[in-house]
Amino acid sequence: MSELGNRLKEARVAKGLTLEELQEITKIQVRYLTGIEEGNYSMMPGKFYVRAFIKQYAEAVDLSPEELFEEFEGEIPSPVNEEISQNLSRVNSRKTLDSKNSKVFDILPTILIVLVVIGIIFMIWYFVNSKDSNSDPVENNTTVNDSVYKKSDTLTEKENEAEETENSSEEVVEEENTTIDEQPAEEEKPKQEITNVGTEGRTTTFELKNAEKFVVKLVAKGKVWTDIQNGKNYSFFQGILESGQTESKEVDLSQEEAALIIIGNSQVDLYVNDEKVDLGDSSSRQDISIKYVKETPQ
């Protein structure tokens, strides 16, 4: 047992509290309270929660958290905000890919128009050269009539070929223009829906539809204890949010089918994919259950 854990345990015993009673006061699970007393911080969800849990424990047994942090500074892990840097990296990568794709689609119509114009210019050049090649003089004067007839027949055939070529080029241009014009417009995606489907006891259930992601964000308006879990009782975040200090927490639950957000009081706003959810007005604990109805692939 660490010196800090021993100090906290002595204060708890002095107040006549069991770990289960302390859990009810702080809303921190017994296994985490035991880990604090034993100095086993590796079992915590993250380094940030160590300081938050110790602060809640100390306040519950009438000890000063600031004095404990100062006295046992070398024993308590320093918080490292790794999750925020990972999220920022993921957002920047996605913006870079979207920017590259947008540039390709912007220049695609211009490329098609240039190719059509080049094709038309080539056909006109071919047609003019074909006419010029048919204007050579007759070499043998003794066979003028035969040459005239042959030349006339040849000219007619070439004119017909040129006309057919020109018509086919016009058909190609018309087909390309028709293909461009007839491209169906992309269907507008339905707007995200967050629906209140009912309340049972202190649990209010919502249903999230038409959403490509499932990101939950809590923003504190005062001091409030919160717990963000998935549908399998795994906690992604548990601790106190306080306005002006650690006032917000964001968790990406896109890979989950459901979430349970436990809120100590009404001093917090809940956002789902940046859309605010109406939690009503309650000064007591609320359990918010959200079912994520994912889009079915076409």
- Which stretch of 90-94, 224-228, 271-275, 285-289 has the lowest confidence by average pLDDT? 90-94
Could you identify the residue written with the tokens 């880990």?
35
Distance CA 223, CA 252 (A): 23
Distance CA 259, CA 153 (A): 84
Q: Which residue has the higher pLDDT, 238 or 169?
A: 238
The pLDDT confidence band at residue 294, using thresholds 50, 70 and 90, is confident
Predicted local distance difference test score (pLDDT) of residue 101: 60
SS3 call for 144: helix
Give percent above pLDDT 70 in the chain: 70
Distance CA 157, CA 153 (A): 6
**What are the structural domain ranges in the chain?**
3-71, 87-139+150-181, 193-292
Residue 277 β-bridge partners: 270
- pTM comes to 0.38
Q: Measured in whole angstroms, how far is the alpha carbon of residue 16 from the centre of its chain?
A: 49
Helix 3-14 / helix 30-38 crossing angle, nearest 10 deg: 120
Contact (Cβ atoms closer than 8 angstroms) between residue 268 and residue 218: yes
SS3 call for 252: strand
What lies within 8 Å, CB to CB, of 80 at 6+ separation is 47, 48
Residue ranges of alpha helices (H) inside 41-136 are: 47-60, 65-71, 82-133
Taken in order 69, 72, 74, 79, the sign of the CA dihedral is negative
Give me the mean pLDDT over the 150-158 stretch.
54
- Which stretch of 8-17, 99-108, 160-169, 272-281 has the lowest confidence by average pLDDT? 160-169
Instruction: Identify the CATH number of the domain defined by range 3-71.
Output: 1.10.260.40
Per residue in 66-122, pLDDT (tens digit) is 999 999 888 887 765 544 444 445 545 565 545 556 676 778 889 999 999 999 999
Contact (Cβ atoms closer than 8 angstroms) between residue 58 and residue 68: yes
Per residue in 118-133, pLDDT (tens digit) is 999 999 999 888 876 6
Q: Measured in whole angstroms, how far is the alpha carbon of residue 72 from the centre of its chain?
A: 40
Per residue in 231-282, pLDDT (tens digit) is 898 999 998 988 876 678 899 999 999 999 988 877 788 899 999 998 877 7
Q: CATH second-level architecture of 193-292?
A: Sandwich (2.60)
The pLDDT confidence band at residue 214, using thresholds 50, 70 and 90, is very high
**Which two tokens mark 161?**
């070929």
Predicted local distance difference test score (pLDDT) of residue 271: 93
Q: Measured in whole angstroms, how far is the alpha carbon of residue 162 from the centre of its chain?
A: 57
pLDDT averaged over every residue in the chain: 79
